[in-house]
Every structure is written in C-alpha cells, then in structure tokens.
Structure 1
Amino acid sequence: MSRSHQMEHEKMSTILLRLSIPATIAMMVNALYNIVDSIFIGQGVGYMALGGLTIAFPVQMGIMAMAQMIGIGAASAVSRYLGAKDREKALHVVGNSYIAVVLMGIIICALGLIFIDPILRIFGATDLLMPYAKDYLQVILVGSLYFPFVISANNLIRAEGNARAAMLSMLVGTIANIFLDYLFIFPLQMGIRGAALATIISQFISLVYILAYFYGEHSSLKVQWKHMKLNWQIQKDMMMVGSSSFARQAAGSLMAIVLNNSLGFYGGELALAVYGIIQRVIMFLFMPMFGIVQGMQPIAGFNYGAKRMDRVSEVVRLSIIGTTALALFSTIFGQLFPETIIRLFNDDPALLEYGVLALRVVIAMVPVVGVQIIGAALFQSLGKAVPALVLTLSRQVLFFIPLVAILPRVGGLGLMGIWLAFPLADGLSTIFTSIWMKREMNRMKKELAA
C-alpha cells in the first residue's frame, strides 16, 4: 500500500499512531537529552552554570525557530502537493528550503558571534552568569552553520510520511549527545563549553544521517539541481505558513527577555537557575504533545489537499484526546514528585526551597495546553498562515508577557506572581484557541455537507 493511499484511506487511529509514536519517542528522547544535559551541567559545573544555560537557551531556541519556519512551511506545502499528486512541485519546494536554510545558517553564525555580548545582556545575563552563557553560546553558534538544515529536513521527512526515519534522525544525534556530554563534562573536565561541543558534534551526526536518507533508496524527495532554482513565490509561501511556528519560538525568545530580566530583578541568579530547571521539565511535558502534532500535521495537510474534510476533523479530535491524556499523566507525576525532580539537577537547599513550589505552580494547567497546540498546528497544516500565527502567539504574547509584567506588582506577589503567570496564560490561551478552532471545524463540516 502506497503512502498516499494510507494517508487518504487507512483507519485514522492506525495511521495517527503509526506517524505519532515514532515522533513522540524522538521528541521525548530529545527532551530527555535536555534534562540529562542540564543534570550533567548542574552536577558537574554547578547551579550557576544552569543560570548561564538559562540565558543562552532562548538564543538556541531562536535558531531552531528560524529553521522550523522554513521546515514546517515547506513540509506543509509538500504534504499538500503530494496529496494533490503533484510530486514535481513538491520537489521544487524542497530545493528552495535547502537554499533558505544554508543562507540562514551562515547569517546566524556571523551575526551571532559579532554581537554575542549585547545579545546575552538583552536576555538577562548578569556579570556572574555572563562567562557561562558566553562559553556555551560561542560554540553553539558554530553549529548553526548546519543545524538549521537538520531541523528543516526532519520536517520534510515527516511530510512524505516516513515518521520512523524522522525519529531515527533525532535519536542518533540525541544518543551521541548524551554520551559526549558525559565524556566532555566529567572525564575531560571541559565544563559548560564541553556541553556545547557535545551538542554541535551530535547535530553533525544527525546531518550525516539525513543526507544518507534523502539520497538513499527510501526517500521519494530526491532533489536535483533543477529543483534548486530560487523561486521567490515558494520562499514567500514557506515563510508565511511557517511564520506561526517561527512566531511561537520567537515569542518564546521575547518571553525569555521579559521573564529572565524579571526573574533577575525579583529573585536574582538563584531564581534564574530554578527556572532553568523548570524550563527543562516543561519541555519534557510538552515534547510528547508535539510528537502527536507532528504525526497529525502531514495527515491533516494531505487530506485537506485531497478534499477529505471528514478525515481532517477526525485526526484533530483524536490528536486532542492523545495530547490531553499525555499531559495529564505527566503533570500528575510532576505534582507528586517535585522535590525528587529538582534534586536530579542540584541539591542545594536554597534551590530546593525555591524550586519545589515554583514547579508545582508552573505546571498546574499543562493538561489543557494540548488543545492550544493542536489548534495552532491545524491551521499550519491547512496553509492558513494568519490564524496559525495569531493562535501561536496567544499564549506567550497576548497573555503571558502582560501577566508577567502585572502580577508581581499585585499585592506584593513578587516572584510568585511570575510563577502564577504560567498557568493563567495556559488556561486563557486554551479558551481562546478552542473558540477559533470550533469555528473552523464547523466551516469544514459545512464544506463537507455541500
């Protein structure tokens, strides 16, 4: 049975599981790497290094955001063109995505290294944390020459329905990263710079795997030189559709500027170290949900292109059920064992005192977030850039940033006001997304009936 036939006719729960499980495993392993990386840094270098990592991490996520903008935008178009049986147009999209990520990597590396000090200051680096953040980010920026290609290409692999290969491309790098992290931080005593070196080496290993996949026997997206001709309309379409994904990550970086500076003001370096731990825990809670999203998107995009609105609605319903169940389970675990989680990173008494309550508050509304993530991803899959962008921005920009600015000043809440902003933003953005998504589902039902 061809992949196209499976996308359009296979039982929805079966195909969603087949595409989501590998993606979920890969995302969980990647999230586990982020936790292990932070544990190694916290235990091997100290909690001040965790604070430095908190400062540098949003910049790293910004690089990923730009790569995801191209990758998700290209993947959405590829899924729709494959659904419409137009493989040649799909290949031109892939070729243009290659051009975009190579140019992006060169620009990011050059500008990042030139302006590294002011960038880190903007993200809240204090004099004590600056050496750790700078040592880490300098190395990461070198890897940005090729890391955007890895991120973008992973989306393309999923777009043609090969979730297993997309999973393996992440797994080989993640496993290498964990091994190299331990080697560079403990036996070789290379500190936080060793952690960054482990990261870029593992990213290069993923790059080699992806190139071998595309030019091996398993991929149908074999780009030739004729497909590498720059097409401004394709570039524009990719950026527009992928802009919502970029907006999510860019909003995360904007959020980090506000959040890191607020944490530094109300709680100092210790509060930044606590958030560095919580940030990794949140990623571990969210990553399985993004695995389901990655399984859903090619199915929704393909069936939308094939005019099968009934299947689009079905995959959205099943995806919401799956993300909610995963988030509920993870949140209950986090609420029951917060001290154990914090101790994994560092057992400093002050860190534990701050961290346990903060973790419980921050993750309180995570179980409802799946609806918000699925809603934004749905509009991406349908190629509807504006609603995808608005919904993606809602949690971080419309709700979280204003709450962080206001709540610490209300009734002397201070640092607790910052932690409370997380569950409030989660709940408000979910309500906002639910209303918009319900309208779109009703529109598709009418289109199906007609």
Structure 2
Amino acid sequence: MVTKNSRNLGEKSIGKLLIQQAAPASIGILVMSLNILIDTIFVGNWIGSTAIAAINVVLPVSFFIAALGMAIGIGGSSIISRALGSNNAQKALKTFGNQITLTLILTISLVIVGLFFVDSLIPTFGGKGEIFDPAKVYYKIVLYGVPFLALCMMGNTVIRAEGKPKFAMIAMIIPSVGNLVLDYILINQMNFGMAGAAWATTASYLCCFGYIFWFFLSKNSELKISLPHFGLDKAILKEISSLGFVTLARQAVVSVIYLLMNNILFDLGGEDAVAIYAIIGRMLMFALFPVLGVTQGFLPIAGFNYGAQKFDRVRKTVRTAILYACGLGLLVFGGIMIFAEEIVKIFTQNPQIVAGTPDAMRWVFAATPIVAIQLIGAAYFQAVGKATPALLLTLSRQGFFFIPLILILPNYFGALGVWLSFPIADLLSTLVTAFFLNREIKVKLNPAGS
C-alpha cells in the first residue's frame, strides 16, 4: 500500500521534501487567491464597490459550509497520512470512504437550511441597506455549488496526503482560471451583473469537482475504494470529527469574525467601511499564500513521519517549516508596507476607500513576519493527531484574542481599534503557540526518544 510517493515522505531530505510539497501548495493557493483577488477587482470595476461589500457579506455562509469539507478532509487526511506511514491500508481506504459520505450528508443539509433562511441570514452578516439586494442574488446562486466546493476541499487534502502535491495544485488552479474566464464573459460581455459573478463561481466549483473525481478514478491515486468503504464507521468518524473539528472551529470563528466585522464597520463607516474590510480580507488571502503553502506542505510530512515514529524527522520538519515560513512572511510584510496605496487603487477608484484603506492594511499586516510560528505550531498538533491542543491553539489567534479585541478596542479608538486588533492578536497567539510547541519538541520529539 505504501508506494514510492508516500514512502518518500519518510526518506527524502526534509528541506527538499518541504519545497516539493510546499511549492505546488503555494502555487495552488496563489492561483486560488488571485482568483478571489481578480474576481473582486472585476466586480469592483464592472459592477461597483457595493458589490464588493455584498460578496463579503455572503462569504461567511459559503465559507462555513465549504469549511466542512476542508475540516473532514484535513481530519481524515491526518489519519490517512499516519495510516500510510504505519502501512495500514484498510484504515486509509475506510477513512477516505467515510470522508466522502460525511461531506455529502452535512453540506447538502446545510445548503437546504441556508436557502430556507436566506432573508434573515444576509442582514445578520451585515447585508444591510444597499448591500442587501446584490448580496441575496449572489448568495442564492453560489450556495447551490457549495457542496461541490466542499467535496473539492476534502479531496484536495487527501490528494496531498497521498504525496501527490502537483495534482492538488492543478485541482486548485482549474476553478480559479475557470472563474476568471467566466467572470469576463458573464459580467463584462453579457452584463449579467451579480448573477454573472455568482454563476461564474458556481461553475468553477463544478470544474474542480470534475477533475478531482477523475483523479481518484485514475491510476494516479493509491486510494481505490469500493462500496463497503462508504459505510460509516463509528471509530473513524470519531477520529475524523475530533481532528477535523479543529479546522471547522477555525472556519466557524472566521464566519463569526466576518459577521462582527461587517456589522461593527457598517456602524462606524457604512458601506465604504465594509468595502475597505473586503479589500483587506482579499489581500490577507492573497499575500499570505507562500506562508499557507508551507503550512499545507508541512502537514503530510509531519503526519507520515510521526506515524512511522521517526521523531527526529518530525522535529526537523517543524524547525525547517518555521524558518521557511517566517522568511516568506517577512517578504510579504515588506511588500505591504511599501505598496499599500498602489494595491488599493487596483480594486477601486472610490476616493473614500482609497484614502482609508492603506493605513488600515498596514496595521493588519504588521505582525506578518511572526504569524508563521502560530500557523505551523497549530498545524503540528493537528498533523500528529492531538486534537485538543490543535483546537485550542488554532482558536487562540482569532477566537480567544481577536474577537474580544474587536469588541473592546473600537469603543476607545473607533475604526483604528478594529485594525489594531489584528497585530495584537497575532502577537499574543504566537507567544502562546511558541510556548506549547517548544515544550512538545523537548518532551516528545527529543533526540533520546527518537
């Protein structure tokens, strides 16, 4: 069962492996982020800045449902990586089958609920005033495609767990390119407005699903499941849930943050303030792609070697990943500090937004050089199957620190308090994660025990 591709995770040089795994992941995230970025530029220039705010309102709902797929994918992939490392073929196959069944059941159920409560959900997430109507148009169409997106997110992590990062990269590129092409046709050429933007996004999810479906049917995949593997297994479901809940909780917190930020900023500055946050949010997705790529590349290497009890390699993987990711984070920090004004003008020419966004963006990215420590640290505990510390560390940044800060600081500093909350939360969560990760390395991954 352990083929050359997965066996390499336990044998090749850590530095080369990390680059081999992280580069395709980074490229895939880059293209996906560029898709979101350019999509926002198209919408802002071809429809208007209110449309940018409308899409930002819809994101928490669609992201949360899609996050189910990501959570099931990452939780199951941690099991698959460790199963491949310990040469347990049946557990890997059964886990993958359970991932598919669980994703379908949960996402379809949530889509039905989401469509039923559409008129109450949109205002709750900040879709007020002029934002409501375009947000409703976008929401209803995009929600139809979200189950396919969830399956794509789940399948992509499994592909990476098999040691096939290039195929995972292609799976991320396909919907990005498709969305941009369809954006141009449906918005610019056919003048379909928000409906065109929504259908372009939904069709891109279907394209990605088609590719991933082909991959698992082809000879490229090691995981050849059959009908019995789809039957839910209580023990596997429990393990998927405990590990996947880390990712789901993180995405749920992201949705709550969107809800709070959209409402807080709308009260402080109306539609323009929500649009400023939408632009900064897109830059967070885009600019951090190399750091997130290293984090994604780190997961299967750490999981496989931990399963194979090669603790010296796990320790080296952690340190190398942090070194690479912090270096890349420093480059991102420099770029944002220097080119903030130029970046904003790409999205919109609205004078209020152009004036208000650059300084806010600089505050949001102020702690970027160190945030990689928090990301890699939380990812380590998830990769090795330690769900509780993974959950707590994952939630520390956005849940335990950021949400209280955005509820408190704006009362004293107005909109500036919102932007200051980002670097303060990053700093505090990084210090906490560094403490627990260092203790884990000394106790569990020390040379004597490897």
How many angstroms does 1:448 deviate by? Answer: 4.1
Of 202, 221, 226, which residue of structure 2 is paired with 1:219? 221
Q: What CA distance in whole angstroms lies between the structure 2 residues aligned with 1:191 and 1:428? A: 42
Q: What CA distance in whole angstroms lies between the structure 2 residues aligned with 1:291 and 1:118? A: 36
One-letter amino acid of the counterpart of residue 385, structure 1:
A
One-letter amino acid of the counterpart of residue 198, structure 2:
A
How many angstroms does 1:349 deviate by? Answer: 0.9
Give 2:355's aligned residue: 353
Of 227, 230, 252, which residue of structure 2 is paired with 1:228? 230
Q: What CA distance in whole angstroms lies between the structure 2 residues aligned with 1:259 and 1:374? A: 26
Of 76, 85, 88, which residue of structure 2 is paired with 1:86? 88
Give 2:423's aligned residue: 423
Give 2:444's aligned residue: 444
Give 1:207's aligned residue: 209
Give 2:404's aligned residue: 402
How many angstroms does 1:383 deviate by? Answer: 0.5
Q: What CA distance in whole angstroms lies between the structure 1 residues aligned with 2:447 and 2:122? A: 50
How many angstroms does 1:447 deviate by? Answer: 7.3
Checking the alignment, whether the CA contact within 8 Å between 1:3 and 1:161 is kept in structure 2 is: yes
Checking the alignment, whether the CA contact within 8 Å between 1:67 and 1:148 is kept in structure 2 is: yes
How many angstroms does 1:288 deviate by? Answer: 2.0
Give 2:249's aligned residue: 247
One-letter amino acid of the counterpart of residue 109, structure 1:
V
Give 1:306's aligned residue: 308
Alignment of 1:32-431 (within 5 A): 32-410=34-412, 413-431=413-431
How many angstroms does 1:254 deviate by? Answer: 1.1
Return 5+ residue gaps in structure 1 as ranges.
none
How many angstroms does 1:187 deviate by? Answer: 0.4
Checking the alignment, whether the CA contact within 8 Å between 1:52 and 1:133 is kept in structure 2 is: yes
Q: What CA distance in whole angstroms lies between the structure 2 residues aligned with 1:254 and 1:367? A: 25
How many angstroms does 1:380 deviate by? Answer: 0.5
How many angstroms does 1:267 deviate by? Answer: 1.4
How many angstroms does 1:333 deviate by? Answer: 0.8
How many angstroms does 1:99 deviate by? Answer: 0.3
SS in 2 for 1:112: helix
Give 1:435's aligned residue: 435
The more displaced of 281-290 and 151-160 is: 281-290
Checking the alignment, whether the CA contact within 8 Å between 1:105 and 1:147 is kept in structure 2 is: no
Checking the alignment, whether the CA contact within 8 Å between 1:309 and 1:448 is kept in structure 2 is: no
Q: What CA distance in whole angstroms lies between the structure 2 residues aligned with 1:377 and 1:205? A: 29
Percent of aligned pairs with the same amino acid: 37
Checking the alignment, whether the CA contact within 8 Å between 2:300 and 2:383 is kept in structure 1 is: yes
Checking the alignment, whether the CA contact within 8 Å between 1:108 and 1:141 is kept in structure 2 is: no
Checking the alignment, whether the CA contact within 8 Å between 2:6 and 2:84 is kept in structure 1 is: yes
Return 5+ residue gaps in structure 2 as ranges.
none
One-letter amino acid of the counterpart of residue 217, structure 1:
K
How many angstroms does 1:53 deviate by? Answer: 1.3
How many angstroms does 1:233 deviate by? Answer: 1.6
Normalising by structure 2, we get a TM-score of: 0.97
One-letter amino acid of the counterpart of residue 431, structure 1:
L
CA RMSD of aligned residues (A): 1.2
What is the number of residues matched between the two proteins? Answer: 448
Of 4, 15, 21, which residue of structure 2 is paired with 1:19? 21
One-letter amino acid of the counterpart of residue 103, structure 2:
V
Checking the alignment, whether the CA contact within 8 Å between 1:339 and 1:352 is kept in structure 2 is: yes
Normalising by structure 1, we get a TM-score of: 0.97
Deviation sequence 1:258-279 (CA, Å, 0-9, x none): 2111111111111000110000
SS in 2 for 1:133: helix
Checking the alignment, whether the CA contact within 8 Å between 1:248 and 1:392 is kept in structure 2 is: yes
Q: What CA distance in whole angstroms lies between the structure 2 residues aligned with 1:124 and 1:170? A: 29
How many angstroms does 1:145 deviate by? Answer: 3.0
Checking the alignment, whether the CA contact within 8 Å between 1:105 and 1:146 is kept in structure 2 is: no
Q: What CA distance in whole angstroms lies between the structure 1 residues aligned with 2:59 and 2:328? A: 25
Q: What CA distance in whole angstroms lies between the structure 1 residues aligned with 2:248 and 2:25? A: 20
